[in-house]
Amino acid sequence: MTLRTFDFRAIGVVRSPQKQRADAPRQAAVSQDLGSILLDGVEHAEDALAGLETFSHLWVVYVFHLNAPSHKPKVRPPRSDEKKGVFATRSPHRPNPIGLSVVELLRIEGPEVFVKGLDILDGTPVLDLKPYLPYADAVTGANHGWLAAPRDPGPSFRVHFRPEVLRALQFFSQRTAHELESAIAKLLETGPAPHAYRRIRREADGSLELAYKSLRLSFRVAESEVEVFAIKSGFRPKQLFGNQPSEGEGIDELALHREYFAGLGSSA
């Protein structure tokens, strides 16, 4: 059998507050984030959107543009302790890196569609928009397959940061223009258990560590409470305190880590 190939052209781009992969929730159903889809790749976009404003929700078909096509037949999803076939999961690592999300339609202004409930990263190429039809798309009596729970869990843990951790997060937030406290809280409040996809691991002393970007945050869980009690750099000591030159373009994370952890951090 000869496999066919197809070329697709993006019709637009997502504008989202979620800038990094770690920012995105696991499902759109647990997101309240606002954003938009700008149809900058369609001629006469306003004509193409005519009538869409009458629907409350829509399907967004898009590309996981930060992921290369995956040829692994099995993956370990966040809600499973064992690997599953990739087609039995919502993993973004797929043979064709195509995503599908339902979002709430707020309004349309010219070629821009404003939506709520995004789980899509900023800058994501969009392939298509389709109206969500409850009579056709919501199947009564559908089961949940291997998933034990009927839906992806919402926030169930309360996250607290020690003052010294908050100071560090505020420093890096101001320097990078990325709000770290809420992003990290969002990750931990829906499930702080160790998992490779969430970059959480258990330490020898029983505490847990979250790797978020180039930061490492130590936390403990007691019933429904999460306490983030320490923060450190993800750079190795020889990088942090050595003579390795830092990057000169964009946000220089190594330079920021040297400034905080070797300077402010030592007295924080």
pLDDT tens readout for residues 233-250 = 988 888 887 766 655 445
**Percent helix, strand, coil in the chain (nearest 5)?**
25, 30, 50
Highest mean predicted confidence (pLDDT) among 1-15, 27-41, 44-58: 44-58
Does the pLDDT at position 265 exceed 50?
no
pLDDT for the residue 236? 84
User: Are the CB atoms for 194 and 208 separated by under 8 Å?
Assistant: yes
Q: What is the pLDDT of residues 161-202, one digit of tens each?
A: 999 999 999 999 988 877 889 888 888 887 787 766 668 889
Look at residues 21, 13, 111, 108 and name the one whose alpha carbon lies nearest to residue 58.
108
What is the percent of the chain with per-residue pLDDT over 90, rounded to a whole number?
43
| The two three-digit tokens of residue 82, written as one number | 């064992």
User: What was the pLDDT predicted at 130?
Assistant: 97
Nearest Cα to Cα of residue 129 among 103, 106, 107, 90: 103
Summarize the confidence of residues 252-266 as an average pLDDT: 76
Minimal CA–CA distance to 16: which of 128, 131, 101, 134? 101
SS3 149: coil
pLDDT band at 31 (very low <50, low <70, confident <90, very high): low
**Separation CA 107–CA 210 (nearest Å):** 37
Q: What is the reported pTM?
A: 0.67
The whole-number pLDDT of residue 132 equals: 96
What structural domains and CATH numbers belong to the chain?
12-137 (2.40.30.70), 158-267 (3.30.2310.20)
Residue 48 binned pLDDT confidence (cut-offs 50, 70, 90): very high
- Which among 101-110, 204-213, 257-266 has the top mean pLDDT? 101-110
**Distance between CA atoms of 25 and 102, rounded to whole angstroms?**
13
Output the six-digit token pair for 154.
Answer: 């919402």
Q: pLDDT band at residue 266, thresholds of 50, 70 and 90?
A: very low
d(CA 196, CA 194): 7
- Cβ atoms of residues 92 and 99 within 8 Å: yes
* Model pLDDT for residues 69-83, shown as the tens digit of each residue: 888 899 887 767 788
Which parts of 16-142 are beta strand (E)? 34-38, 57-63, 74-75, 84-85, 98-109, 112-116, 125-131
- The rounded distance, in Å, linking the Cα atoms of 104 and 100 is 14
Task: Return the minimum-mean-pLDDT range out of 59-63, 207-211, 230-234, 239-243.
Answer: 239-243
Residues 119-161: pLDDT tens digits? 889 999 999 999 999 989 988 888 888 876 554 555 578 999 9
Q: Tally the residues of the chain.
A: 268
